[in-house]
Amino acid sequence: MNLTGKSVVLAALLLLAAASTNSAELPTQPKATSPRLYVFDCGTLVYNRPEDYNLKREEVKDSNMGVTCYLVVHPKGLLLYDTGLNDRLAGRPLYENIVDGYGQIKFNTLGGQLADIGVTPAKIDYLVLSHYHWDHVGNAGDFAGSTWLVYKGDHDQMFGKEARAYPWFPQYSALEHSKTQLLSGDYDVFGDGTVVVLATPGHTEGHCSLLVRLRNTGPVVLSGDLYHYAEERDLKRLPEEERTKGTVESRLKIEELLRQTKGQLWIGHSMEFFRTARKSPAWYD
């Protein structure tokens, strides 16, 4: 067989392999009789300025930050909270991906982790973004077919003139045409009290957290950027610029909720939480 013939055979084999891969069925989409919560590894931020959060370096166990995304599987639908760093960063060197002093590392894609449990973006019923910063909206545009639950303050900020110049604007710009529900106050997503979007303004005007009541794990609050480090909570510190923007009041609200429900606070950027959390395809229920 000459070189041309070998090339044709090789090309045919590659096409056959691709067709076989594309036709392979996804795992069965998870179903649950009570809420189930999946944690996804959506990247890591390499960072060494805890002073930005009013903390000294020696007061912080690990100044780097995990980036987490979460899927809630409810009998009435699927809800995704945050979309992490953009999937295109996966496998790229750190020096290519520096934003605002943070280095971005990503080994797993959100899309791939969802596919591993039988979920495609089209199957997500509700999208909730804790806020519009780049490390939380990296793949938001992939879920533009979902119903987007958002507070007006963040919605207005995301599509204002200044925001359109953000380098990360294209990552969420498709949401401008999504089915959108503007929220005011706390919002019970499925009407049974098990999944509640919590208004926690301060870090941004429309920042929100998410309460998920799990049958075995108990109540969990996903806190977005209400805190970045556990030490902020332990030492009662916060960024100076947030003292008068609502963060103090939002933290008091969440602490009272945790006291009343005996719930857990999950600080998604905490490396200690990030290392020990049970990652998908495992789950919490």
pLDDT digits (tens, 9 = 90+) for 211-242: 999 999 999 999 999 999 999 999 999 999 99
- Statement: 32-276 belongs to CATH 3.60.15.10: yes
Match 């098990």 to its residue by tokens.
194
pLDDT at 88 over 90: yes
264 or 17, which is more confident: 264
Half-sphere exposure of residue 174, counting CA atoms within 13 Å on the CB side? 13
Residue 201 near residue 154 (C-beta atoms within 8 A): no
The answer to whether residue 15 scores a pLDDT higher than 90 is no
Structural domain spans, the chain: 32-276
Whether the pLDDT of residue 21 is over 80: the answer is no
Read off the pLDDT of each residue in 195-216 and give the average, rounded to a whole number: 98
Cα 209 to chain centroid distance, Å, stands at 11
- pTM for the complete prediction? 0.90
Task: Measure the CA–CA gap between 129 and 254, rounded to whole angstroms.
Answer: 18
| Sign of the C-alpha dihedral computed for residues 82, 107, 226 and 266 taken in this order | positive
User: How far apart (Å, rounded) are the C-alpha atoms in residues 140 and 80?
Assistant: 10
Are the beta carbons of 40 and 110 closer than 8 angstroms? yes
pLDDT above 90: percentage of residues in the chain: 85
> Is 60 exceeded by the pLDDT of residue 62?
yes
Residue linked to tokens 């060494």: 48
Asked whether residue 13 carries a pLDDT value surpassing 70, the answer given is no
29-54 residue pLDDT tens: 888 899 999 999 999 999 999 999 99
Residue 24 is predicted with a pLDDT of 53
74: which strand partners?
77
Interval 165-185: pLDDT, tens: 999 999 999 999 999 999 999
